[in-house]
Structure 1
Amino acid sequence: MAELPGKKMFSMKTVCIVIGASRGIGRSIVVNFASKFPTGSLVVALARDSEQLAVTKTLSTQASPGVGCVTRVFDQGSLDQHQYDTWLQDCLRGKTASEFQQAVIIHNAATIGSEFCENLTEVNQVSQYLNINVAGLVAVNARFMQEFRDVPSKVVVNITSGSALQPRASWGLYGSGKAFRDMFMRTLALEHPDFRVLNYAPGPVDTDMFHSSLQKTKDENVLEAIRDMKKRVLTPDTTVNRLIAILEKNVFESGAHIDYFDDQ
């Protein structure tokens, strides 16, 4: 396992990067992780919404004054190479990888999208979806890996979905994007056994994306299933605390897909 002997994940001085950190699960990750990391750690919160990022930073600082929080407006759907070349150094603000015992990245940025396969004729629409959910993630992750390759403990978490494993009508793009991400993470784990890699499916969570899916899902059977999920929807903090418990226990196979409801 890629961690220091005798050290638990949340006891190490850590730089933790959260993509999609302006609300919902991402904001909860920033705040709850910051509250557990030791003084001197740094949480980096990236998202498109600057106003909501400011709220995330305030909550993080209140939760753990000894842990720094840096925010940066970042559009994972952008094809601006300069953005991908500079975001990490901008966020570190003079700090170096060698200052940390551990580096963590959590890929939470995603969009839902719902359309039947036969209707996906607009190539720009398809391309934009894949840029946000696939291409951007790959490029961000590569920069993280290069920067922190020599840090003793490295952790990569992909927020995934049951849709990565089970096809759902009118969710072809969403499920395919999640399946790609899962396989990419499994490949990363194979190539780099010194990284701990996890695909975490958070379950039905009370977020803007969940409510958006109730409005936008095209297939009636899938929509009915989502309505049924609403009866047992989780809070962001509930699923994030489950993620924390899985990471603290640290017995998962690197690259594994673990659902909130799985026994661990």
Structure 2
Amino acid sequence: MRFFLRIVTVALSAVSVMAANTCKVGGIAGTCISTTSCASSGGTSTAGYCPKDPNNVRCCTYGTCNAKDGRSGNCVSTSACSGTSIAGLCPGPSGIQCCVPKGTSCKVSDGRTGTCVSTSSCSGTSVPGYCPGASNIQCCVSGSSSSSGNLPGLNARQSGYARTIAKVAHTYGVGARGCAVAIATALVESSITVYCNYKVPGSCDLPHDAVGSDHLSVGIFQQQSPMWGTAKQCMDPATSAGLFYKALKGVSGWASMSIGTAAQRVQRSAYPDRYAARANEAVAICAKAY
């Protein structure tokens, strides 16, 4: 009988552990378990969150985590995660995983919708310029359209930026001609690349593809910051395109000028003939992207 009672006691203890109360510390879900069990599994015990339990039973949490795609989250049990659970990023039992928010939805210029995820985790096509966060967080879309694939003479990254520039051309009502002026400028200034500049404070903390050092120039159009706008504005493909088109519309008679002349009137470059040399490329790109 004593042996039977001991088995029952052990079984009840196991059930008690399995049915441990849940708790929250700073918004992070945890479990009320003994400090010894928590420490042995790599967690942190916090007193005051399990008032009905013995003194050695405290709220055990496993901290924060970062997914490979740049999303940050909390290490919680999979049952307590309302987002996406990712294994292998947290201490503790296998049921404790990195809980990150579900990917933000996005919509690219050809009308396709997708999700903002890292380029490495996208099983479809990654399109830059439509998602917040690091430069590798891009709109992942599936399927194909007439505007999918690389644009003439451009790689995938450049094509994504060029489509963003073309999309903003619609917003500002400058037509395919205005698109070509912008693309010719972007080809000359940066090869359609997002540059930060170590001379511009904080610019290299923002998403970028390359590092430059020309005066205070940043972004695809190499716009001077803060004269054109903040570093963030000048380095965001869509916003910087808007700044360019706004300046272009301020040039009297720009639509009747040659592409190179219109670009020079906006940029006021020390090398005014460079834009005309890229005009034909720009027209071909906008013929596909606009």
Q: Same fold (TM over 0.5)?
A: no
Larger-gyration structure (1/2): 2
More strand by share: 2
More helix by share: 1
Indicate the TM-score class for this superposition, using the shorter chain for normalisation: under 0.3
Higher relative contact order (CA 8 A, sep 6+): 1
